[in-house]
Amino acid sequence: MHIDLAYGKGSLTIEVPDDRTTVIEPTHLPGLPDVEAALVSALRNPIGTPPLRRLVGRGQTVAISVCDITRPMPSAILLPVLLGELSHVPNDQIVILVATGTHRPNTMAELEEMLGPDIVHNYEVVNHDAFDNSSLAHLGETSDKIPVHINRRFLESDIRITTGFVEPHFFAGFSGGPKMVAPGLAGFDTILGLHGAGLIAHPNSTWGITEGNPIHGEIRSIASRANVDFSVDVTINRDHDITTAYAGELSAVHRATCQVAKRTAMRPVSAPFDVVVTTNSGYPLDLNLYQAVKGMSAAAQVVKKGGTIICAAECSDGIPEHGEYGQLLASRESPSELLEMITTEGFASHDQWQVQLQGQILMRAQVYLKSSFLTEAQIRSAHLEPAEDIQATVLDSLDRYGKEARLCVLPQGPQTIPFLASGET
């Protein structure tokens, strides 16, 4: 059986035994036949709010939250339609805020790729900076005592709009919606609180769960404080084409879009597998190792304890260098020591959440990584094993577990989230 694995802007092809392999991919929905008309319809027939054009007056200022380069959000398609509905508002009264969270700022070339050159050169586009306290405003604390600091430009605008795409998320339940406020436009201390060790370790802080998920609950609480006026969420297929679009009141829009994402992107399996091959859905999601933890987490949902995960992620942007993810990984000799460090009372560090999630995965399974941009030393420093030849690694792993060993392949990585129908762990 030949399988193409999403990898960078291309793919890797592997051949695996037909009789022992289960391939899990999302239900393919075709792109909307007339995406512009569908988006216009959503904006003019929203859920729970007036149409966007009626909602915004000519003299009002508008802030629009958009995804950064690590997300395959088709903003270059959505934004021209959305801004067309705001044609009565002068361009200089509109600011587009890139919801970077704690990620690095996007370059001019990346902004043009994400949003389109016309928008970048005709509107003010600002990379959110979670570490610039002067750019943030304080909105009190959540019930869990998380300080709430949100981008000042967003809060001080008369009309606040979020745009995002919805897919299962490995600890917040689903992406999009309220995440476009926090962590997207939040300050570092807010983000650190949302990603605290106790919240990350909660059993409901996982793929596809929003109700009862303490992280999603806090994110939703913070977004409500920001008084978002209008939200647009979309789902996309493996070609990054828009398949559904909803607009209107933030929570209602997100719920509706999550239902679509759950039906198309989550797949039950009857039993765990000895070996699971995954990707991080190719570019831009596999830009760096930090992001690739999502693909590993998708695989971890259905790998046997003591099994093997093999992840293909190009990592053209490295580990990356910004933040403390790489340094934290290299600071301890084993995954158990990493988890002990992170769960120590009073410990707080940038990127600890990603290291904690990776440590939890590594306590369950051995993880190999195929990357064209990381050295063997860098891969080993992250407590992973290098996989120069991914097909050979797959076959060697199957041999190690014996003739009855079963293989699962997630060619599109976390675009499909498998789960055990029995609920076993």
Catalytic positions, please? 103, 169
Cα distance between residue 422 and residue 271, in whole Å: 8
DSSP helix/strand/coil, 369: strand
Instruction: Report the alpha-carbon angle 45-49-51, nearest 5.
Output: 45
CB atoms within 10 A of CB 255: 18
277's CB contacts (< 8 A; 6+ apart) are 5, 14, 16, 299, 309, 310, 311, 312, 390, 394, 407, 408, 409, 410
Cα distance between residue 31 and residue 242, in whole Å: 5
Q: Tokens representing 393? A: 């690694």
326's CB contacts (< 8 A; 6+ apart) are 289, 319, 320, 378, 381, 382
Q: Tokens representing 93? A: 């009264």
Cα distance between residue 24 and residue 2, in whole Å: 14
